[in-house]
Amino acid sequence: MSDGEHPRLVPLPEADWDPRLDGVLARLDPVLNVHRVLAHHPDLLAAWSSLRHHIAFAGSLLPRHRELLILRIAHRAGSGYEWHHHVIRGRAAGLSDDEIAAIGGGRTGDWTEIDGALLSAADELFDSRSIGQPTWAALAAGLSQEQLLDVVMTVRVYVTLAMVIAATGVSIEA
């Protein structure tokens, strides 16, 4: 996984941020290089931070489930930046190092039914922008309708973020 090898947009120091982003700064803890790159477009960063806040803090998914999805997308998209940050968050959400290694190896073997369905959903959304009926049924057996929507949105938001990181060359913080 390689991000940031050739930065195309330099992270904007917080002192140079548009004053309209003062309220956004309070939601971004810590402020990362990806935020500093997005700060070049204040309206975009403000809109994105609201959706990110929902997914990361206010969404209906269990933290473990959210991190399974994000780590799988980081792996599939080859986003070393997202992988780095979400390995830390994944551990905090209760994922073991063996589970994290399995996610990064693309394995769907020894998982609970819902964990396996989440990983399959991430793969299917990444590959075909949809979820097949067997995977959907497995998800629907264990998740609410709100959670089903949060699964789809979490994957799509992090696929988009991986594209932004790759296209702009965001590097992992020193």
CA 71 – CA 117 distance, rounded (Å): 14
CATH number at 63-162: 1.20.1290.10
Q: Which helix (H) or strand (E) holds 62?
A: none
For residue 159, which amino acid is it? Answer: V
Model confidence over 26-78: pLDDT tens digits?
Answer: 888 789 999 999 999 999 999 999 999 899 889 999 999 999 999 999 999 99
pTM attached to this predicted model = 0.93
For residue 121, the Cα-to-chain-centroid distance in whole angstroms is 14
The residues spanned by each domain of the chain are 63-162
Mean pLDDT, rounded, for 156-168: 96
> In percent, how much of the chain has pLDDT > 90?
83
The CA–CA distances, whole Å, from 34 to 13, 47, 129, 130, 163 equal: 12, 14, 24, 27, 11
